[in-house]
Amino acid sequence: MNEKNFIIDPSLFKKLTMATAVGLITIIIGVFASERIWPNILLAANYITGIGFTGMLFVAILYVSNAGWGVAIRRIPEAMFSALSVGFILMLLVLLGVHHLYEWSHPGVMVNDPILQGKEPWLNLPSFILRVPIYFGIWFLLGKPILNHSRKQDESGDPEHKQKSIRWSAAWLYIGGIAFIISSFDWIMSIEPHWYSTIFGLYNFSGVFNSGLAFMIILLIYLRRIGYIKVLKNDHLYELARYLFAFTTFWVYIWFSQHMLIWYANIPEETGYYLKRHAGAFGVLTVINILMNWLIPFTILLFRKSKRTEKPLLIASSIVLIGHWTDLYLMIFPPLIGETPIFGLLEIGVVIGIMGVTLWVVLRSLSKWNLVPIKDPYLEESIHLHT
């Protein structure tokens, strides 16, 4: 193995720091200037948490399924896991603006509303605040041993580390997955506390997994272009692209399941959610959302050749990344900002900040360890992947 370790290029580092600073300044100005900053911070928190969540999810799936093909690229999702810490900080920031986001957090509203009274045991401020560190604690504490075993194996080469990782991964998938579903109920669905959908957590998950895969594909292609991770073959990208292809379809399947059941049952307290999102300019955005999260990437990735070629893969992945932002925007913003979608300086600043800080954290974490798990027993199998 002659993989060199990853070193962040100083000029890139400078750009990422500047982007992060732009996001930070936007947030600071926004907190004092506009209420619209709070949904933006919530969106950023969910987006970045999603990237980190997918990182460990992907690693855990590799372990649990005893897959050999992904070992050579495993350090990239492992590095993505570090984005979770940024998500945590942003989520703590959201807690400061709870009253701007969640109707149920106002005691006055709560008292006069019998439906919200019934939800009070779950939707109250102390338990909401307490649950944020619990979710992140589950993801961190169950995920950290998996990272540690992977890194220790680089030194000792002991296959026992892999066996232990498999057990931790199973626990992470089960408990971490449930935590993710409940966290989406908490953070996003409770913005409209009268509305509920049992599939909502799964719906959020499908979008999150898409965005994480797209991020991983873009990062891998970028690393190969600047001369790192030479073990990466088009076959690895092909496997990831198939994942992305399948999960874009999964996303629209879940989106449609939620939409059709609510349309079919036609109960007023449920249809309100879609009436807001299908009227006027938000309706246009809903159509764009489906195009970007499903139809365009699906059509591009339908062909075997485009799953194995850098350019179409980059295009499809970028569209999915933007699409996931739109998806979260449509989940969070409509009840909070009135009838027309706004994409102003605040949104642009926060988006730049998201990109900057995510890449900054992930690349920094990537530079700390070997770029390839050099002593993993399945490494050879992964390098000789045929598809």
Positions touching other proteins (CB under 8 A) are 256, 259-260, 263-264, 266, 304, 386-387
Cβ of residue 263: shortest distance to other proteins, in angstroms?
5
User: Among residues 4 and 384, whose Cβ is nearest to other proteins?
Assistant: 384
Q: What's the rounded Cα separation, in Å, for the pair 2 and 165?
A: 26
Give the whole-angstrom CA distance, residue 301 versus residue 312. Answer: 8
Nearer to other proteins by Cβ, of 66 and 266: the residue is: 266
Burial of 381 (0-12, 13-18, 19+ CB in 10 A): middle
Buried b / exposed e along 68-93 (16+ C-beta atoms within 10 A): bbbbbbbbbbbbbbbbbbbbbebbeb
Q: How far is the CB of 301 from other proteins (least distance, A)?
A: 13
Alpha-carbon distance of 214 to 371, in angstroms, equals 19
CB of 135 to other proteins, least distance (A): 34
Beta carbon nearer to other proteins, 148 or 249? 249
Cβ–Cβ < 8 Å for 81, 50? no
16, 353 in Cβ contact below 8 A? no
In the complex, minimum distance from the CB of residue 256 to other proteins, in angstroms, rounded to a whole number: 7
Measured from the CB atom, is 305 or 311 closer to other proteins?
305
> Between residues 99 and 304, which has the closer beta carbon with respect to other proteins?
304
Q: How far is CA 116 from CA 98, 210, 265, 331, 343, in A?
A: 16, 33, 22, 20, 31
Nearest to 36 by CA among 26, 22, 46, 45: 26
Q: Shortest distance, CB of residue 259 to other proteins, whole angstroms?
A: 7
Q: Following DSSP, what letter does each residue of 287-309 receive, concatenated?
A: HHHHIIIIIHHHHHHTSHHHHSS
**Nearer CB in complex with other proteins: 115/265:** 265
| CB-nearer residue toward other proteins: 81 or 273 | 273
Report in angstroms how near the CB of residue 260 gets to other proteins at its nearest: 5
Closest distance of CB 324 from other proteins, Å: 23
Sign of CA dihedral 110, 329, 77, 300: positive
Closest to other proteins by CB, 32 vs 264, is: 264
Closest CA to 138 of 192, 174, 162: 174
Shortest distance, CB of residue 330 to other proteins, whole angstroms?
Answer: 18
